[in-house]
Structure 1
Amino acid sequence: MSNYPPKTLVIFPKITYNNNRWHFTPNLLFRDNSIIITLRPARRISDMAVTTFAAIDVGSHETSLRIYEVSKKFGIRELDYVHHTARLGYETYSTKHISYHSIDKLCTILNGFKEKMKEYGISDYMIASTSALREADNNLIVLDQVRQRTGFRIKILSNSEQRYLCYKSIAFKENSFHRLIQKGTLLVDVGGGSMQLSLFDKNNLICTQNILLGSLRIQEFLQDMQKHTDNYQNLVYEYISNDLHTFSELYLKDHKIKNIIAVGNQLRTFVKYLTVHNFGHLQPTDSKGKKKDSVSRQEYDEFYEAISSQHPEDLAKELNTSVDQASLLLPTAMIYHNIFEETGAEQMWLSGITLCEGMAADFAERKERISPAHSFLEDIIHTARSTAARYDYSRNHCEYVENAALKIFDAVKRQQNMTKHDRLLLQIAVILHNCGSFINLNEVGENSYKIIMSTELIGISHKERMIVATAVRYLRDYFPEYSELQDGFDKEDYVRIAKLNAILRLADAMDRSHKQKFTAITTSLRRQTLTITGSTLYDITLEQGIFRNHSDFFEEVFGIQPILKQKKTMTPKHTDSTKAKNGGNHE
């Protein structure tokens, strides 16, 4: 430092290279006589870190690549977007089979994407497909060919996983989402193969339903019939209207729908149409010059009337897109028009959300610890409760068993290395375990299994739904050996199911009479003994007997002996239930 005179400020830049980007960190050194003071930025490195992430959507009509920049400071920002037409859905929805020609084209596209990703130095990515591969009878062959020829391992998303990613993206991207769902809001996600209708009200997800009415599937199904009619628009309307009306009658009659949130790849074309035409109320910006993100019912009717009068060839030229892409605009527009009619909604919010953005949001939450304002965990639980209510479940019994089951889980979770997600699956299983009694009191487990397997639970995978259903299926019957299960579970899945089932058996035994006899429940794990103490003055002979019947299975699964003790005092009912549901007092 002797080369620098007194009272000299010296900047020593620290330059690092990370994730294909140069990062500059200044170190400020101030020399005053013999004193050197080092000043560094107060911001933590983790707060400044930027990760580049790629999301690839192998869709029904096109395969797309979106590249994002993800950081705590700036959130999620799109850097690049590339897409190519690959009409996998046309083959899947008509023949259930994807041809070699389509596989070859897909591999060529993906290898091109691979080169683009190299330009950005990307190591974090996700590649996913939905119904186009999910419904193809040769999807395993397609996955293997893609892996061999490109190195990519495509993940085929279940419908619930696909929609959950999109919902996450909306919550990340838009602050208005939380405000909108305070009142009746229908989120309509129209894809190529199907649509997802999800009802939100009072900040909760009430229900969700998948209908096989996607724009590409509609077009493919009606292709031959179109030749025999002069009114294709009416043909499409008749095809889609009954299913949408049925959904409205079953799920919307007790809710006033004020908003529609539109999701899907076709929304890009919608917005482009508004921008190109720029007529009447359909301005691309509002009165303050801001980009519009919603249209009123009147504005949408004008848009629908205009687009219905144009041929796909004319639309393609006008929007500078392919005829195939333009031809999907009318079925999509008709779906939203029909939903406006069924719901009487006042406005439609054009979210512009895609599956790729959902993948980026999921990555941001998992890797960068960036969380959306809206809690989708609560949505999953609320949907399970709404489903159980449709089957007239015993609410008091289920809440009581839920409290007991979660306390048992929290007592053993650390020793057994059980996760928060295991706890969620247990909670869903408890909520739905008794809904089968609505159908037949003699086969409650089997009927509950069928109800769960037929119910869309956004946020858990199809396999996790099978795990929940199987844990409920054998609640009171003999629990099968691994070789007896026919649902393709691996050995880890089998053990997971057994653990959930063993906990559920004990908790259900504690309220076999459905009289909620215990007014307070505590748990204590000492060595290999789990003591469950309940406060009550009632006769618990029935509960003790059934508990003992299930204790051997619990001990076999966990290596822990459960004991049920009675504390003969009275305390207010369910004083500890809220704490158990929210995470318990055991770590």
Structure 2
Amino acid sequence: MAFTTFAAIDVGSNELSLKLFQISKKNGIEELEYIRHATYLGSYSYKHKKICSELVNEICEVLEQFQKKMEEYQITDYVAYATSAIREASNSVLILDQIKLRTGIKVKILSNSEQRFLCYKAIALKVEAFQKIIQNGTAIVDVGSGSIQISLFQDGCLSQTHNIKLGSLRIQELLSSMEDKTDNFHKLISEYIDNELITFQELFLQEQKIEQVIATGDQLNLFLHITSQKAGSAPINAKSLNQVFESLLSRPLEELTRHVSFPKEQVSLLIPTAMIYLKLFKQIRAKEIYLTEITLCDGIAAEYAQRKEKIQSEHDFANDILCSARKIASRYHCNQAHIENVNSLALSIFDSIRKLHGLGKRERLLLEIAIILHSCGDFIDLTHSRENSYHIILSTEIIGLSHKEREMIAELVRYTPKTFPSFSLNMDSTSKENYIKLSKLFAIFVIANALDKSHKQKFSNVKISYRQNVLTITTDTVEDITLESGLFQEKASFFEEVYGIKPYIKQKRRFS
């Protein structure tokens, strides 16, 4: 039986972890070994906005041990990610360079949306009947050290997701200086959490009924250990679980620490963690809660196994990204008929000239998202719509996309052929590659958008053919397309500059 051994490394905010896996088509993902090392990385980063040399030394020493463990298993295929602690540090680039030089391990920083999406992929694989569960109103609540992510599902698809900087470690660091100034530190934490969650509830929980919650997060494993709860496919009654959380919060920290082998600093994080879960469960008002032991390492393995086609998921993750984008477009009252028409035209063009652009499924997805969001700036100001759309996309998290991908989408909607930036010889190799990719997607987007300039969907029935260096867009519409044809010429010139061919409009029937 063919199998692959793989290592996943998480340089997290309060621990460094290594999971070793055996992956095969027959047995899926099997965990071989799990190694963890507690660290104060997040505590220092959230407080000082950088990482000190002592912590860098500690990271390197631990990663060297991880490297030796990987060698024991003869593992050469690995992925190492860092999350919010390093992501938010001002010296993050220097830290990653030191790690690479000293350990040989290349660590990549995950954006928040990428991090949560990986965990969500692991949940979809590990939680039995996941596809059935999310048919009804479901929330995935992921409480991390730096923030919490709440993703809402309806009818089997992600409807919206929101990040709130209320992570357990971040709360502890922000409020630790006030602990000696109050007789009720728990109440202080509670009030701080309420301030953020009440706003979330008023804005987003009114429009969707949540029946079930899937809970995951950094401290959930410790919570399960202390309370003797079990993770699994069977849901737990929300009322019973709330009582467990309330009981946990009533126990002194010293008592909790005596019953576990975890450091006191980690156990202390249970207080803000338990409060966040407790308040969220009560606000969401779900009847049932699924507890999971999913970690980022599980998500890394799931992503790797899917990419290598070792496993298949019945859930369509790309569709979730599109659903999330459509929800944003709906929030800004975008013209759905126009979006659907432009999207259909653009994707038809994209598919017709695959040999010309050489782009893949991921770029096709980015083009589709750009089309969905291209007119959201109209909601703010029609005069500066493109610039407004650009800033909306940059400031709105889209789960599953990296920051660089979101930047490319924002650039696609920002420019016209006249304002599109010129190529610079000073660009590095990565910038050149991204510029070429942006140019190819933009050329397709602008001609597709021009074909529905009137927003009347005159080109709803088209055939696109590419033969002998000619791209022909044929329509049998009986409507007057003078406006679209006239505006098309400028866009066609840009397309020709990028691809070396000029697109033409051909109308089979004339209006009478």
TM-score (norm 1): 0.84
Does 1:439 find its partner at 2:380? yes
Q: Which residue of 1 aligns with 2:116?
A: 163
SS of 1:547's equivalent in the other structure is: helix
Alignment counterpart, residue 516 of structure 1, candidates 457, 474, 481: 457
Which letter maps to 2:41? L
Give, in angstroms, the shift of residue 311 of structure 1.
Answer: 2.4
Contact kept? 2:135, 2:156, Cα under 8 Å: yes
Q: Which residue of 1 aligns with 2:218?
A: 265
Q: Which residue of 1 aligns with 2:274?
A: 333
Q: Distance in 1 between matches of 2:373 and 2:393?
A: 7
Contact kept? 1:445, 1:476, Cα under 8 Å: no
Contact kept? 1:184, 1:202, Cα under 8 Å: yes
Q: Which residue of 2 aligns with 1:7?
A: none
Alignment map for 1:367-386 (pairs within 5 Å): 367-386=308-327
Which letter maps to 2:51? I
Contact kept? 1:57, 1:129, Cα under 8 Å: yes
Alignment counterpart, residue 470 of structure 2, candidates 525, 529, 532: 529
Which letter maps to 2:206? K
Alignment counterpart, residue 166 of structure 2, candidates 199, 213, 221: 213
Alignment counterpart, residue 83 of structure 2, candidates 124, 130, 142: 130
Give, in angstroms, the shift of residue 451 of structure 1.
Answer: 1.0
Does 1:225 find its partner at 2:175? no
Give, in angstroms, the shift of residue 312 of structure 1.
Answer: 2.3
Percent identity between the two aligned chains: 48
Which letter maps to 1:519? S
Tell me how large the CA RMSD over aligned residues is.
1.9
Q: Distance in 2 between matches of 1:215 and 1:233?
A: 13
Which letter maps to 2:200? F
Give, in angstroms, the shift of residue 225 of structure 1.
Answer: 1.1
Give, in angstroms, the shift of residue 340 of structure 1.
Answer: 1.4
Q: Which residue of 1 aligns with 2:390?
A: 449
Q: Distance in 2 between matches of 1:446 and 1:485?
A: 26
Q: Deviations 1:23-59 (Å, cap 9, x if unpaired)? A: xxxxxxxxxxxxxxxxxxxxxxxxx211111111100
Give, in angstroms, the shift of residue 389 of structure 1.
Answer: 0.4
Give, in angstroms, the shift of residue 476 of structure 1.
Answer: 6.2
SS of 1:222's equivalent in the other structure is: helix
Contact kept? 1:259, 1:347, Cα under 8 Å: yes
Give, in angstroms, the shift of residue 274 of structure 1.
Answer: 2.3
Q: Which residue of 2 aligns with 1:250?
A: 203
Q: 1:394 to 1:133 in 2, by over 3 A?
A: same
SS of 1:226's equivalent in the other structure is: helix
Does 1:175 find its partner at 2:134? no
SS of 1:471's equivalent in the other structure is: helix
Contact kept? 2:140, 2:213, Cα under 8 Å: yes
Does 1:317 find its partner at 2:251? no
Q: Which runs of 5+ in 2 are unaligned?
A: none
Q: Deviations 1:143-185 (Å, cap 9, x if unpaired)? A: 1111111110101001111111111111111222112111111
Q: 1:294 to 1:322 in 2, by over 3 A?
A: farther
Q: Distance in 2 between matches of 1:134 and 1:298?
A: 37
Does 1:103 find its partner at 2:103? no
TM-score (norm 2): 0.97
Q: Which residue of 2 aligns with 1:471?
A: 412
Contact kept? 1:183, 1:258, Cα under 8 Å: yes
Q: Distance in 1 between matches of 2:354 and 2:321?
A: 21
Between the two structures, name the one with larger relative contact order (CA 8 Å, sep ≥ 6).
Answer: 2
Contact kept? 1:475, 1:504, Cα under 8 Å: no
Q: Distance in 1 between matches of 2:183 and 2:428?
A: 48
Q: Distance in 2 between matches of 1:546 and 1:484?
A: 31
Q: 1:448 to 1:159 in 2, by over 3 A?
A: same
Q: Which runs of 5+ in 1 are unaligned?
A: 1-47, 276-282, 286-290, 571-587
Alignment map for 1:540-579 (pairs within 5 Å): 540-568=481-509
Q: Deviations 1:386-406 (Å, cap 9, x if unpaired)? A: 110000000111111111111
Which letter maps to 1:411? S
Q: Distance in 2 between matches of 1:265 and 1:180?
A: 23
Q: Distance in 1 between matches of 2:133 and 2:290?
A: 9
The structure with the larger Rg is 1
Q: Distance in 2 between matches of 1:486 and 1:474?
A: 19
More helix by share: 2
Q: Distance in 2 between matches of 1:300 and 1:203?
A: 25
Count of residue correspondences: 511
Alignment counterpart, residue 154 of structure 1, candidates 107, 110, 119: 107
